[in-house]
Amino acid sequence: MIGELMAQVHDHGGGVRSVQVPIPDNPLGHTLVYVVDTDRGPVLVDTGWDDPDSWDTLAEGLAACGTDVGEIHGVVITHHHPDHHGLSGKVREASGAWIAMHAADSAIVRRTRETRAERWFTYMTVKLEAAGAPEEHIAPLRSARRRELPGFSPALPDREIVPGELLDLPGRRLRAIWTPGHTPGHVCLHLEEEHPARLAGHGRLFSGDHLLPEITPHIGLYEDPDDATVTDPLGDYLDSLERVGRLAPAEVLPAHQHVFTDASARVRELLAHHEERLTDLRSLLAKPLTPWQLAVRMEWNRPWEQIPYGSRNIAVSEAEAHLRRLVKLGHAEAVPGSDPVTYVAT
Ligand SMILES: [Zn+2]
Ligand SMILES: [Zn+2]
């Protein structure tokens, strides 16, 4: 079994290792859980999906790192998504470790634990109606309303990650960089120590889902039934990208795919990608479109007809995030009196 494990554990040098923790039935394949040595014991950056196989892999990976789940001193979470925060509760149970998260994502965790399924389905129904989704898409949500969501209860964090501050990791310098966009409380973590192979640049950056080598993270609305604020997640994301670009880390340690260098080049690529996408959407809006109609016409990784039901909701959310951005930039506006509301380029 050790031979199999060697492929899942990687030593990045300087007291940092990673364990590939599988995400079941997901094309992303795995979450990279980082194990950072401190004077008080290992600290994890993210924990992986809550699934028995993923848990076993994490435990075996930690053993291959010469430690044990019971030895974990703390858990630092980049954002609340289940492929990052899923196993945090189990790690805490096994070790007594603290769990740290940015307040904005902790608020989502709290809300997820408290929101009744019915409330969520009502919110989604109203939201999709307003986005101009066809009745056949909304109908399943109406009938689902009386059913309960599967038992999903993410662990409540017990520490807050404060942007700009060093985390309390004895013997290490790990600074929290707030990078909202993918989620409102996403953080990157800057290890302000010389690169173990002395690569040029400023330390290393645990980038979560914010900066990935080959894919762009999903940027949708910050879905919150309790919040009427008109947020601009895409604007937040683009600002956050520039922020991590300026850090110029020697190496990026993302939560998926693989580590990479030249963060600034990747940041420039992503900024250009989003600029191009906004330009394309602006031309699509030559005639007024609802967010749903815009989503149907946008370019995705496959034709709209092949996009599964749940992913269509995510696509509409992404279309809405782009509309928010265009409206904020003064490049599009809502057509007065339209219902559902349509948007047109200005
Ligand atoms: Zn995520
Ligand atoms: Zn992820």
Band the pLDDT of 145: cuts 50, 70, 90.
Answer: low
Exposed e or buried b per residue across 159-196, where buried means at least 16 C-beta atoms within 10 angstroms of its C-beta: bebeeeeebebeebebbbbbbbbbbbbbbbbbbbeebe
Q: Is 225 exposed, middle or buried (0-12, 13-18, 19+ CB in 10 A)?
A: middle
Indicate which ligand has the atom closest to the C-alpha of 46.
2
In this prediction, residues 37-63 reach a mean pLDDT of: 96
Architecture of the domain defined by 2-108+154-268:
4-Layer Sandwich (3.60)
Query: What is the model's pLDDT at position 2?
Result: 46
Find the 220 Cα to ligand 2 centroid distance in Å: 14
Query: What is the model's pLDDT at position 146?
Result: 54
Domain limits, the chain: 2-108+154-268, 279-345
**Cα(49)–Cα(21) distance, rounded to whole angstroms?**
8
Find the 258 Cα to ligand 1 centroid distance in Å: 16
**Cα(168)–Cα(76) distance, rounded to whole angstroms?**
11
Q: What's the mean pLDDT when you consider all of the chain?
A: 92
Q: Is 58 exposed, middle or buried (0-12, 13-18, 19+ CB in 10 A)?
A: buried
Cis peptide before 340 (omega within 30 of 0): yes
In this prediction, residues 48-71 reach a mean pLDDT of: 95
Find the 336 Cα to ligand 1 centroid distance in Å: 35
pTM for this one?
0.92
Find the 288 Cα to ligand 1 centroid distance in Å: 31
Query: What is the model's pLDDT at position 46?
Result: 98
Query: What is the model's pLDDT at position 123?
Result: 84
Please write the tens of the pLDDT for every residue from 312-343.
999 999 999 999 999 999 999 999 999 999 99
Contact 60/5 with Cβ under 8 angstroms? yes
Give the sheet arrangement for strand 174-178, strand by strand.
174-178, 187-191, 204-208, 251-254
Cα–Cα–Cα angle for 29, 218, 108, rounded to 5 degrees: 95
Dmax of the chain from CA atoms?
65
Name the token pair of 46. Answer: 């993210």
Indicate which ligand has the atom closest to the C-alpha of 21.
2
Dihedral angle over CA of 149, 154, 160, 165, nearest 10: -100
Please say if the pLDDT value at position 345 is more than 70.
Answer: yes
Name the token pair of 148. Answer: 């309960």
Among 3-17, 148-162, 238-252, 296-310, top mean pLDDT goes to 238-252
Residue 235, H or E segment: helix 233-247
Residue 206, H or E segment: strand 204-208
Helices 309-328, 117-130: crossing angle, 10 deg rounding: 60
Please say if the pLDDT value at position 6 is more than 60.
Answer: no
Find the 143 Cα to ligand 2 centroid distance in Å: 30
102 φ, ψ to 5°?
Answer: -65, 145
324 φ, ψ to 5°?
Answer: -55, -45
Contact 222/231 with Cβ under 8 angstroms? yes
Indicate which ligand has the atom closest to the C-alpha of 31.
2
Query: What is the model's pLDDT at position 152?
Result: 67
Find the 25 Cα to ligand 2 centroid distance in Å: 14
Percent of the chain with pLDDT over 90: 81
Which residues have a beta carbon within 5 Å of ligand 2, which is an ion?
Answer: 83, 209
